[in-house]
């Protein structure tokens, strides 16, 4: 899906991909910030645990968001496509002031929610100003082009990454998570090699990119965000590479941004953290 | 890229994916119709042979379009990313009344043109009303989500299809070509399984889908267009399928449309050919 149209009087809500394994104790800076921006004590956060096959993922985040100060939190447990017609859950979703997608398998989200009213409700909520976050699988699915799966390793290899259409809240980035922990720069590069127009965003665990309505990305959390900008790509062998061959790419720009660092996705400008962090 | 914004005073040009091996003799009904809609003797058709590694693909289509009655035709031979800065070719492209992408390898198009001024010029031309067609690889690349490669066969198998970002003129379809000739329904189904929001369009050889500004698709040529609508998908195993497993999908709708048949991509309504064809 193309990014949803933002009504003229509204500003798009934040898009908040989290790299997985975000802290959930007193150092839960990422989730706490998310709760704040969703209205804190006035906030109503919808949790979508569809990516997970575990029974308690949704209720766990429900409790967590309440502990962190959200006024209300509700797990909307969509487990099959027919669930998406349920009017009560749709009503909750449409009245939410924040939406959070848990981890698991991103293909569960797209296959269960893709093309349904739930996907449309998430998109239109974000366009109206509601912040939408997700961790791990829930992060990958936020963008138009999503890394569905792929192999680990530092070098990009042809045919070793699979893209799928995501929820499409933004088309400026391709997101990968557990980035340093699972050695994924190769697969993110391979994804960009397929079409270098997007910006690659690799999120370490317990690290998030808060992307505002002007498409400026700000890093929060304990790790780093790796930004790969293929805009200046001079040469790529992807057009002639056979499966299993290393992809040759020249002219890429790379930024490693710790918390407080920013990247302007429209103008492709990276800035280090200012003097004071967080 | 998301579909380009259509200026308020303009109507988007046609999007014309062709299934490959279109006739080039006196029965060249598809290419002849394309020439007509690009202005015929007043038309200026830009040919982009980037998908092809053959030397003469561009000049061959140049000659063909002139024979079929185009006022002007020019091959714009982009072979590397640095070519895309050439002001003369850009000028020709921006003044074209029709743009045609030849066959070859669709990943050559995306890796050489993705994110460049040439890709932007094609998108903005289409938004302004210029018709953009392509055959085989040139057809695949027209949509937002493009089948880059995959395996033949009738049943969808997890992990056997690779999507990549295309030129993004429309996000309503995923296109596959040489459809009957190369037995590709399985890979198109596998692509839709990744996210069922789009409509699958399988084009036989010498067969084209002319998609108008209202997103109504009309079939031309000697074969058929297979339309797969996953909107009513009830169940899909894609979220839990392992690589190599057949994907279970229930509730798909399928339409086989010969020339004259239409499919309304917004309302998902198929109509058989009216009494009179072509």
Three-class HEC string of A125-186:
HHHHCCEEEEECHHHHCCECEEEEEECCCCCCECCCEEEEECCCCECCEEEECCCCCCCCHH
**Do B211 and B265 touch, CB atoms closer than 8 A?**
yes
| Phi, psi dihedral angles at A257 (to 5 degrees) | -115, 120
**How are strands ordered across the β-sheet holding A15-18?**
A72-75, A44-48, A98-101, A131-135, A15-18, A207-211, A216-221, A262-264, A269-271
pLDDT score at B276: 42
User: Whole-model pTM?
Assistant: 0.85
In this structure, the number of other CB atoms found within 10 A of the CB of residue B9 comes to 7
Which residue in the list B136, B144, B145, B236 is annotated as catalytic?
B136
Q: Dump pLDDT digits (tens) for A159-181.
A: 889 999 999 999 999 999 999 88
Q: Is B231 on the interface with A (CB under 8 A)?
A: yes
For helices A117-128 and A106-113, give the axis angle rounded to 10 degrees.
100
Secondary structure (DSSP) of A1-25: -PPPPPPTT--PPPEEEE-S----S
- The whole-angstrom separation of Cα B80 and Cα B223 is 35
Q: Find the residue in A nearest to B165 (Cα).
A: A195
For helices A57-67 and A29-37, give the axis angle rounded to 10 degrees.
80
Please indicate whether, in this complex, the C-beta atoms of A239 and B112 are within 8 angstroms of each other. Answer: yes
| Apex B57 CA angle, B51 and B62, nearest 5 | 115
Q: Is B55 known to be catalytic?
A: no
Give 10-residue mean pLDDT values along chain B (278 residues).
Answer: 76 97 95 97 98 96 97 97 96 98 97 96 97 98 95 85 96 94 89 94 96 97 92 87 86 88 94 68
**Do A140 and A166 touch, CB atoms closer than 8 A?**
yes
Q: Is B131 known to be catalytic?
A: no
- The whole-angstrom separation of Cα B155 and Cα B153 is 6
Which residues of A are tagged catalytic?
Answer: 136, 178, 205
CA distances from A173 to A22, A232, B249 (A): 21, 16, 30
Nearest CB to A107: which of B80, B82, B238?
Answer: B238
Q: Residue A244 belongs to what H/E stretch?
A: none
Closest CA to B114 of A198, A266, A248, A252: A198
Please indicate whether, in this complex, the C-beta atoms of B235 and A115 are within 8 angstroms of each other. Answer: no
Q: Dump pLDDT digits (tens) for A51-97.
A: 999 999 999 999 999 999 999 999 999 999 999 999 999 999 999 99
Identify all chain B residues contacting A170, using CB atoms and an 8 Å cutoff.
none
- The whole-angstrom separation of Cα B101 and Cα A46 is 45
Taken in order of first residue, the domains within chain B and their CATH numbers are: 15-267 (3.40.50.880)
Helices (H), A23-161: 29-37, 57-67, 87-95, 106-113, 117-128, 137-140
Residue B68 DSSP class: T
Please indicate whether, in this complex, the C-beta atoms of B145 and A148 are within 8 angstroms of each other. Answer: no
| Apex B183 CA angle, B178 and B187, nearest 5 | 95
Q: Find the residue in A nearest to B170 (Cα).
A: A2
- The whole-angstrom separation of Cα B117 and Cα B87 is 10
Please indicate whether, in this complex, the C-beta atoms of A239 and B108 are within 8 angstroms of each other. Answer: yes
Q: Find the residue in B nearest to A235 (Cα).
A: B81
Q: Which residues pair with A161 in a beta bridge?
A: A150
Please indicate whether, in this complex, the C-beta atoms of A194 and B80 are within 8 angstroms of each other. Answer: no
pLDDT score at B248: 84
Identify all chain B residues contacting A236, using CB atoms and an 8 Å cutoff.
81, 111-112
The yes/no answer to whether this complex scores an ipTM above 0.90 is no
């Amino acid at each position: 899906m193309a990014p949803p149209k933002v009504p003229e009087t509204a500003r798009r809500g934040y898009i908040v991909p989290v790299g997985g394994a975000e802290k959930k104790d007193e150092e839960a800076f990422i989730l706490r910030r998310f709760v704040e921006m969703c209205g804190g004590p006035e906030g109503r956060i919808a949790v979508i645990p569809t990516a997970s096959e575990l029974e308690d993922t949704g209720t766990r985040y429900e409790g967590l968001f309440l502990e962190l100060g959200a006024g209300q939190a509700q797990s909307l447990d969509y487990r099959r496509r027919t669930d998406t017609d349920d009017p009560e859950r749709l009503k909750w979703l449409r009245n939410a002031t924040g939406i959070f997608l848990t981890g698991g398998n991103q293909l569960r989200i797209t296959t269960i929610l893709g093309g349904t009213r739930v996907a449309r409700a998430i998109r239109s909520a974000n366009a109206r100003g509601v912040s939408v976050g997700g961790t791990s699988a829930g992060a990958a699915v936020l963008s138009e082009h999503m890394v569905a799966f792929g192999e680990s390793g530092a070098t990009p290899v042809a045919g070793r990454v699979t893209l799928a259409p995501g929820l499409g809240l933004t088309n400026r980035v391709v997101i990968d998570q557990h980035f340093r922990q699972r050695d994924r720069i190769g697969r993110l590069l391979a994804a960009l090699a397929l079409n270098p127009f997007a910006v690659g965003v690799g999120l370490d665990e317990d690290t998030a990119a808060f992307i505002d309505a002007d498409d400026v990305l700000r890093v929060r959390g304990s790790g780093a965000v790796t930004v790969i900008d293929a805009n200046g790509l001079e040469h790529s062998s992807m057009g002639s590479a056979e499966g299993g061959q290393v992809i040759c790419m020249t002219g890429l720009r790379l930024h490693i941004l710790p918390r407080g660092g920013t990247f302007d996705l429209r103008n492709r400008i990276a800035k280090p953290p200012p003097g004071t962090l967080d």
